[in-house]
Copies of this chain bind each other. A is one copy, B any other.
Amino acid sequence: MGDPPDRSFSDAEEEILRATYSALREHGYADLTIKRIAEEYGKSTAAVHYHYDTKEELLAAFLDYILQRFVDTIHEVETTDPNERLTLLLDQLLVELEDHLDLLVAILEMRSQAPYEAAFAERFEQNDEYVRYMLRTVIADGIRQGVFDDDIDPEHAAGALMTIVDGARTRTVVLDDADALATARRTAEEYVDTVLRVDD
């Protein structure tokens, strides 16, 4: 446990996945077709099908691609101080999303299909598992260092923070509320400050 699946993509695949992103932003998930992706790619649908047999296969690869990029940004958090590290992780999970609101729309559509698309469900579960592992680890480390309360269950606290993160992602899209991320960031900070952190 701990290492997320590392998938690499050829240059052509990366180009197709970037075209998928553009097509998703423009048409949304429900109206996404290989034809529209091919148009963004600037090549034929056959050129897309050469790499991905079906739309589902392509979208599963797309999820691998964006979740991998997300994991990469998490890896950029290099500090080992528990307080600072947890703050930066929560920033990555919430603040950074402000630049990708249209991606959140497409992701929520794919999330809502998880009960019907095993390939989607698997990827969302894997990603959640990995992010909770990162959070749990820094919380457990903070407990050992005496900065977080030793009554805390790191597993629960990681789930609590991810509940806040997922709530913000959903509310941003459904309520078309760009402030939802800021509300969640403040809520996560209150949770860390009052539930996790030992009083100074």
Contact = CB atoms under 8 A, between A and B. Distances in A.
A180 interface: yes
| Interface of chain A: mostly helix, strand, loop or mixed | helix
B125 A30 contact: no
Given A109-B112, A191-B187, A168 B173 contact: no
A23 to B, nearest CB: 15
B160 A190 contact: yes
A36 interface: no
Contact of A166 (B156, B160, B171): B171
Contacts of A159: 180, 183, 187
Contacts of A2: none
Interface in A68-96: none
Q: How many identical chains are in the complex?
A: 2
Contact of A167 (B108, B109, B165): B165
Interface residues of A, number: 42
A187 B174 contact: no
Contacts of A30: 113, 116
Contacts of A1: none
Given A111-B170, A115-B173, 14 more contacts: A111-B174, A112-B173, A114-B175, A121-B174, A121-B176, A128-B171, A156-B183, A156-B186, A159-B187, A162-B171, A163-B167, A166-B166, A167-B167, A190-B191
